[in-house]
Structure 1
Amino acid sequence: MGKEAAIKETYEHLIKAWNNRDAEKMSSLFTESGESIGFDGSTSKGREEILSHLKPIFRDHPTAPFVNKVKEVKFIGDQTAILRAIAGMIPPGESDIKPEVNTHHTLVLEHKEDGWKIELFQNTPAQFHGRPELVEEMTNELRKLIR
């Protein structure tokens, strides 16, 4: 498998772990010093803190699954890469994306002896304040991925 495919696979594992509400799997994808910045701006540093942050979220909230699309993988040397993606969520019991929670995903990944690990995951709201046509454009792009 090539580097870009392996990076995309790491991201897909992250999405699958979120969609399966699997805090252990999700946190295991990070480096020991990895950091996660959530949709609400909360930060978690290190695998253990990421795990302890995610466990109550999955336990206490009916989290919506992501629909996502990788937009770019950019290499910074041989051992580091940035992945950018867009994502939307389909709330439990519904069949369409909720545009108000569309997001940009940005990951910084580092190649370790056991594969590509996430050093930073940032989940940024994509509200495009004052530009509803951009929200609609992103939502329609993601809707094409719903199976």
Structure 2
Amino acid sequence: MPRPEHYRHRGPTRTTPGVPLSVVHPEDAEIRAVYAEYLAGWNAHSAARQAATLADDADVVGFDGTQHHGRLQFAADLRRIFADHAPPPYAGTVRSVRAMGEETAVLTAIAGMPAPDGTLHPDLVAVHTVVLVKDGRRWKIGVFAATPALRSAPADAVAVLAAEFAG
């Protein structure tokens, strides 16, 4: 079914070659480090480490649509997940970091769960949208949403995302 005209994007997209992905945020490195630590917590199967990147009242929507409300609930839910099985590691490529105010930023990334041989299955490619808030002098994740690329984009767009992820 074709999309209505008002949903069609007419300008360059973030996957358009040669178009800059991000205007440098003054605290770009700190914000990217929070996202990297979030993924590192997952990869270490450490609910505490991953939850430490979240604001107390954070909302997280996982790849499967599971919703977690608050840092403590998120940590408890992840402890149960990690107790039952060892999920594959995540790898992510930050596409952009931009300010939404003095103490709010949005980070977007392409993420996936590569196989041990480095191949990336298109069904495991996701777009991460992360809203970060300044908590004193530190950035924390206020909202984290993982959107499966398979459900949100045509097959050719998923291939472009997978290629961008692979670098």
User: When the two structures are aligned, how many residues end up with a matched partner?
Assistant: 142
Runs of 5+ unmatched residues, structure 1: none
Amino acid of the structure 2 residue aligned with 1:98: H
Structure exhibiting the larger radius of gyration computed from Cα positions: 2
Q: 1:128–1:135: 8 Å Cα contact kept in structure 2?
A: no
Alignment of 1:84 onto 2:89 = no
User: 1:6-85 maps to which residues of 2 (within 5 A)?
Assistant: 6-85=30-109
Secondary structure of the corresponding residue to residue 112 of structure 2: strand
SS in structure 1 of the partner of residue 150 of structure 2? coil
Distance 1:82 1:128 in 2: 22
Aligned equivalents of 2:41 and 2:47: distance in 1? 7
Q: Greater share of strand residues, 1 or 2? A: 1
Unaligned runs of 5+ in 2: 1-25
Cα deviation, 1:64-121, whole Å, max 9, x if unaligned, reads 1112111111111110111111111124x55311210110101111111250001011
The TM-score, its normalising length taken from structure 2, stands at 0.79
Pairwise CA distance, 1:131 = 2.3
2:162 is aligned to 139
RMSD: 1.6
Percent identical among aligned pairs is 30
